[in-house]
A and B are shown apart, each in its own frame.
Chain A
């Protein structure tokens, strides 16, 4: 029943969202693509930190790599930019393997800073490659000769598809056996290992998956924005906004990034003209949330309404509890 509702809901989003180029404004489509990139990025950060317990401050490394790999493949190798997004994401996933060998030597706060340092190293390296414009960056030229509306529509559709695919795959992943393992690792690595879970392999898998996702978001972002520079692509702001979205929405909850992205988008639309004050406000809000509302807005909504649509919980049906109202009193004097 719940699955039917979800499928219908997804189909509705796909149809209404998918037809937008025929009735919507191109500004909205551009806006959606940017937000979609942030959303995918936040989903990945949530998977890493909220489920895998790996608090990375360096996911911009893969966002930027995704952008640059897409650009290099499209500009230099003549690959269709949309195909290049996917190829770039896959290559970033392969690169994540050696990167993990360095990052995984560190734990906790050291891991966080270590991933940031790695991202900076990659930024500086890319800034010294002249073929992609060096420090000042370059433009995506592969779209020359393609009509603007076609490019915008395609970018939009690809973004919509990427959002739906990310959401569905993360959901299915968390509902699978591997999802249980990941949640167990989040709660206690020591216990997870002693219950037969290969913690090292699981963390590596999640790290690589998150790299692919972030690179996908990066490739998409720069297909939409057409211009890339190392400072924009490897900005730590990507991770900062990702963290903000996850904190506001609810960390370690699948609907967290969804709600967080919506809230972030609203705040950004209304207040981003206030410059520094806007950023201070975002930071203050995040601090308040971590202090008073750990489960985020999605947790609050669930508490208030009892709704848990995207739940991945395994619930044991309790046919006996109703017939044993004295169960709790019995337990108290055991």
Chain B
């Protein structure tokens, strides 16, 4: 198991955002996370990436507990993440965004970082924007940059937070192709996504969250046919 979350709990005041959630992800696997808005999906990511701290429970990465590590340490350990609302380094160029991620996330020299950044630019289709300020990008390209920057940290586990939201159909297809290539290289992924068909095109297993609790977990077929999931998530009465 590359990642294991055990009994994760998190509350903001009286609001229990994550309640006793446990799951695991195998090396090379892609796990999709589904759930209504406000179900606590992003909080789950924050608990894995270290942006939020656990109230109870534990997170193990590659067999070791990382519950107490700070976000930058988890990134260096091999967990790369994108944010639902893109956080580009706006005054830096796209290329510099990636060089920075490679320098500090992958912890390589700047020369090597240039190489990684150039590769990632090619593979994510951002080559022509390389020297543009990241703040000037369109939403689509900001989302691409979000993915590209996470990739430049050379992650073993990639956390993707709704990177297909707001994309047109052809754009989403292109994104899925890109993710398939990343998956083929052996990168483990967890993908939170509302665009279900995009998610189904790549996920090996699904996890459904509702009101901070795990509602279902299993293969896409099992989960999508689960009566409870159909009722809660898709509004279909079984």
A and B are interacting partners: yes
Chain A residues engaging chain B, CB cutoff 8 angstroms: 177, 180-181, 183-184, 186-188, 190-199, 252, 313-316, 318, 320-321, 324, 327-328, 331, 334
B104 to chain A: closest CB distance in Å?
A: 4
- Asked if B72 and A194 make an inter-chain contact with CB atoms under 8 angstroms apart, the answer reads yes
Most central of A186, A196, A316, A331 by chain B CB within 10 Å: A196
B18 on the interface (CB 8 Å rule)? no
- Asked if B118 and A197 make an inter-chain contact with CB atoms under 8 angstroms apart, the answer reads no
B145 to chain A: closest CB distance in Å?
A: 10
B90 on the interface (CB 8 Å rule)? yes
22 pairs, A vs B, C-beta closer than 8 Å? A180-B110, A183-B91, A183-B92, A184-B97, A184-B100, A186-B91, A187-B88, A188-B90, A190-B87, A191-B149, A193-B71, A194-B83, A195-B75, A195-B100, A196-B101, A196-B104, A196-B107, A315-B95, A316-B114, A316-B117, A316-B130, A328-B128
B127 on the interface (CB 8 Å rule)? yes
Inter-chain CA distance A315–B105, complex, in Å, is 20
Inter-chain CA distance A190–B161, complex, in Å, is 15
Inter-chain CA distance A183–B90, complex, in Å, is 10
B20 to chain A: closest CB distance in Å?
A: 26
Residues of A within 8 A of B103 (CB): 177, 180-181
Q: Which residue of B lies closest to A183 (CB)?
A: B92
A304 to chain B: closest CB distance in Å?
A: 19
Residues of B within 8 A of A328 (CB): 128
As a 0/1 sequence over residues 108 to 137 of chain B, the CB contacts with chain A under 8 angstroms (1 = contact) are 001000100110010001011011001000
Q: Which residue of B lies closest to A193 (CB)?
A: B71
Residues of A within 8 A of B149 (CB): 191, 195
- Asked if A316 and B95 make an inter-chain contact with CB atoms under 8 angstroms apart, the answer reads yes
A195-B131 in contact given A252-B91, A314-B93, A315-B95 (Cβ < 8 Å): no
Q: Which residue of B lies closest to A185 (CB)?
A: B89
Interface size in chain B (residues, C-beta < 8 A):
43
B18 to chain A: closest CB distance in Å?
A: 19
Residues of A within 8 A of B76 (CB): 196
A318-B75 in contact given A183-B92, A187-B88, A334-B171 (Cβ < 8 Å): no
B212 to chain A: closest CB distance in Å?
A: 22
- Asked if B171 and A187 make an inter-chain contact with CB atoms under 8 angstroms apart, the answer reads no
- Asked if B131 and A192 make an inter-chain contact with CB atoms under 8 angstroms apart, the answer reads no
B51 on the interface (CB 8 Å rule)? yes
Tell me how many residue pairs across A and B have CB atoms closer than 8 Å: 109
Given contacts A180-B110, A316-B131, 4 further A-B contacts (CB under 8 A): A196-B104, A315-B93, A315-B131, A316-B130
- Asked if A183 and B89 make an inter-chain contact with CB atoms under 8 angstroms apart, the answer reads yes
What secondary structure prevails in chain B residues at the interface with A? helix
A193, A196, A314: which contacts B95 (Cβ < 8 A)?
A314
B63 on the interface (CB 8 Å rule)? no
Q: Scan residues 56-104 of chain B and give those whose CB is less than 8 A from a CB of chain A.
A: 70-72, 75-76, 81, 83, 87-93, 95-97, 99-101, 103-104
- Asked if A318 and B130 make an inter-chain contact with CB atoms under 8 angstroms apart, the answer reads yes
Inter-chain CA distance A195–B96, complex, in Å, is 13
B19 on the interface (CB 8 Å rule)? no
Inter-chain CA distance A188–B110, complex, in Å, is 21
A314-B81 in contact given A177-B110, A188-B90, A196-B105 (Cβ < 8 Å): no
- Asked if A188 and B87 make an inter-chain contact with CB atoms under 8 angstroms apart, the answer reads yes
A58 to chain B: closest CB distance in Å?
A: 25
- Asked if A191 and B128 make an inter-chain contact with CB atoms under 8 angstroms apart, the answer reads no
B72 to chain A: closest CB distance in Å?
A: 5
Inter-chain CA distance A177–B105, complex, in Å, is 12
Residues of A within 8 A of B118 (CB): 316
A194-B89 in contact given A180-B103, A181-B104, A334-B170 (Cβ < 8 Å): no
As a 0/1 sequence over residues 165 to 201 of chain B, the CB contacts with chain A under 8 angstroms (1 = contact) are 0000011001000000000000000000000000000
A181, A193, A313, A321: which contacts B70 (Cβ < 8 A)?
A193
Residues of A within 8 A of B81 (CB): 194
- Asked if B83 and A327 make an inter-chain contact with CB atoms under 8 angstroms apart, the answer reads no
Inter-chain CA distance A198–B100, complex, in Å, is 12
B132 to chain A: closest CB distance in Å?
A: 11
A195-B101 in contact given A187-B88, A321-B128, A328-B128 (Cβ < 8 Å): yes
Inter-chain CA distance A197–B153, complex, in Å, is 11
Inter-chain CA distance A197–B128, complex, in Å, is 27
A187, A196, A314, A321: which contacts B72 (Cβ < 8 A)?
A196
Inter-chain CA distance A192–B149, complex, in Å, is 11
Residues of B within 8 A of A191 (CB): 83, 87-89, 149
